[in-house]
Structure 1
Amino acid sequence: MKMALIALFALAVVLGAGLFILGAISRSGKAPGLLEGRLAPCPKAPNCVCSEEKGDAGHYIEPVAIPPHVEGMGMIRETILEMGGRIRDEEGGHLAATFSSRFFGFVDDFEIRADFLEKKVHIRSASRVGHSDFGANRRRAERFSVLCMEKMSRKDAEKDGEAPKP
């Protein structure tokens, strides 16, 4: 019994140390950025979603539709900051941000490509390390979409003279 407890404790220490090391590794590096004017495709691992991966159901997520009156990146930037993201780079219609996990400090990349001609906001959310993220990047991208649509709806209501909804 004593040996089993020691082995279990040793396993927990090794596992914890491994997770801290992976967290440290994830803090180095940066988002892949745009490739030929589009967000980078997801790797084969299930820890990434991208709205420009329409042919890949496992990685695909719908882009956010932009109403005609919305221009610029202000609302997008504001939404990312409200969600706890840190903006790392912004150039034209491309924005790169990071989100960090509370435990172990894993860093995930979150990229946006706003296409104001097509009136779409494309999203890519991906883990920097590991294989599975237990759906964290998909949930983050979906939350971003919902928050953006809510903000745009409020902006529409204000534009039309209605009282904004809380």
Structure 2
Amino acid sequence: MALFSFSGQRPHNLGVNANLLAPCPSTPNCVSSQSSDPKHAIEPLSYRSSPEQAFQNLKTAIQSLERTKIITESENYLYAEFTSSLMGFVDDVEFYLNKEKNVIEVRSASRLGESDLGVNRKRVETLRTILQNLEA
């Protein structure tokens, strides 16, 4: 349990709209595979399995990490909250299974604060590694 709680309010702009996740705010505490801005851009998650298996592997990868909670899940969208251990900061992380591009689009953003010290980017890269290992 976090010593403090800086959870903030759940954003109202989450979800997929016209095959797009919400854009990152101007602050540097967000990464998105759909961003063209270099400070926010990150590669989408790729997979070699079927889209359905890839999404199941993603769910397994998320659940393998500590302090995670899947909030919303459908056949092509998953939204999870990740909570930091010390201060209880909550990050909102969304995944969109883009079958047309054969990738999983991702957006990871801190609810509060300006800088995340690279936590959101690091989390996506950790999930990428776990997914690659599950597909090996």
Aligned to 1:50: 32
Aligned to 1:60: 41
d(CA) in 2 for partners of 1:124, 1:79: 16
Aligned to 1:74: 56
Q: Which has the higher helix share?
A: 1
Aligned to 2:16: 34
Residue from 104, 123, 126 that aligns with 2:109? 126
Displacement of 1:62 in angstroms is 0.5
d(CA) in 2 for partners of 1:130, 1:76: 27
Q: Which moved more, 1:43-52 or 1:72-81?
A: 72-81
d(CA) in 1 for partners of 2:69, 2:26: 26
d(CA) in 1 for partners of 2:80, 2:117: 20
Contact 1:51 1:124 in 2 (8 A): yes
d(CA) in 2 for partners of 1:106, 1:68: 34
After superposition, the C-alpha distances for 1:89-138 in whole angstroms (9 at most, x for unaligned) are: 01220100010011121100011011123210111110001100100001
Amino acid at match of 1:38: L
Contact 2:90 2:110 in 1 (8 A): yes
Q: Which moved more, 1:65-74 or 1:136-145?
A: 65-74
Compute the RMSD of aligned alpha carbons: 1.9
d(CA) in 2 for partners of 1:118, 1:133: 29
Contact 1:76 1:148 in 2 (8 A): yes
Displacement of 1:149 in angstroms is 1.2
TM-score by length of 2: 0.87
Amino acid at match of 2:92: D
- Unmatched 5+ residue regions in structure 2? none
Higher relative contact order (CA 8 A, sep 6+): 2
TM-score by length of 1: 0.72
Amino acid at match of 2:117: F
d(CA) in 1 for partners of 2:16, 2:58: 17
Runs of 4+ in 1 over 2 A off after TM superposition: 68-73
d(CA) in 2 for partners of 1:133, 1:37: 26
Residue from 68, 82, 100 that aligns with 1:99? 82
Equivalent pairs, count: 131
